[in-house]
Amino acid sequence: MTVDRLIHIIAGFFILGSLALAHYVNPNWLWFTAFVGANLLQSGFTRWCLMATILRKLGVPETAGE
């Protein structure tokens, strides 16, 4: 598993999880969905992602060949 693949998996899990929580628990969980979306938008422009930095520090390889 590479950093990029894990970023997509984690973001998708966070979005689907927060939508489920908003539906079944409290609509305020939609703020978390907005936060994840804003971070994805920001990382698209700046090419910096906090989750990617954390994953790299945990030793997740950057490419599949490493």
CA distances from 41 to 10, 37, 59 (A): 15, 6, 25
HSE-up (13 A, CA, CB side) for residue 63:
2
The domain ranges of the chain are: 3-57
Spell out the per-residue pLDDT of the chain, length 66, in tens.
Answer: 999 999 999 999 999 999 999 999 999 999 999 999 999 999 999 999 999 999 999 999 998 875
- Please state, in angstroms and rounded to a whole number, the distance separating the CA atoms of residues 57 and 64: 17
Helical segments of 1-66, H only: 3-24, 30-46, 50-57
Q: Tell me, what's the pLDDT at 49? A: 94
- Please state, in angstroms and rounded to a whole number, the distance separating the CA atoms of residues 60 and 2: 6
pTM (2 d.p.): 0.87
Q: Tell me, what's the pLDDT at 66? A: 54
